[in-house]
Amino acid sequence: MKPEISIPLHKAHDITPAVLRAGEYCREAGCSENDGRLISTAVSELANNIIKYARHGSIRMKEVQSNTRHGIEVVAIDSGPGISDVGRAMKDHYSSSGTLGLGLPGIKRMMDDFDIQSTRGEGTRIVARKWI
């Protein structure tokens, strides 16, 4: 099993290297090309949200293993403003910044497990897992 990695995000220029690093991690962990693409897309959406809404944060990736399954876990953490209404943020086409509003619901569809914890004024923590 590969060790966990943590990718810090401080500025928009950090996003592309983070997405490339995520793809490399998936390949090294034995993901199919398709799973690697889906996980990298999820990382791209999470990283863009961190930079856009929270300014700083990080993405962690690790391999996870249950009795029968092997997968990749992605955790996005920031100490930004938080999301006041998570139910609304998870709806297709809701965006507080006038963009598509498909990032979070898209991640939920692309990954197998998805959990979001967000507290106003404290930050947001999103865990997404894909069994590969």
Ligand X SMILES: Nc1ncnc2c1ncn2[C@@H]1O[C@H](COP(=O)(O)OP(=O)(O)OP(=O)(O)O)[C@@H](O)[C@H]1O
**Interface map 54-93 toward ligand X (x if CB under 6 A):** x-----------------------x-xxxx-----x----
| Contact call for residue 43 and ligand X (CB under 6 A) | no
| Contact call for residue 49 and Mg ion (CB under 5 A) | yes
Contact region with ligand X (CB under 6 A), list: 6-14, 32-40, 50-58, 67-75: 50-58
> Could you tell me if 96 and 117 are in contact, meaning their C-beta atoms sit under 8 angstroms apart?
no
| Contact call for residue 123 and Mg ion (CB under 5 A) | no
DSSP type of residue 55: S
Distance CA 26, CA 20 (A): 10
| Contact call for residue 12 and ligand X (CB under 6 A) | no
71 three-class SS: strand
Least distance in Å: CB of 32 to ligand X? 25
> Could you tell me if 125 and 75 are in contact, meaning their C-beta atoms sit under 8 angstroms apart?
yes
The site partner of 117 among ligand X, Mg ion, none (C-beta below 5 to 8 Å per kind) is: none
Q: How many angstroms separate the Cα of 89 from the Cα of each of 5, 41, 82, 100, 130?
A: 27, 18, 11, 12, 21
Nearest C-alpha neighbor of 85 from the set 120, 49, 50, 113:
120
Instruction: Give the residue with the Cβ less far from Mg ion, 35 or 41.
Output: 41
Positions that interact with Mg ion (CB under 5 A): 49, 103
Positions that interact with ligand X (CB under 6 A): 45, 49-50, 53-54, 78, 80-83, 89, 94-97, 99-105, 124
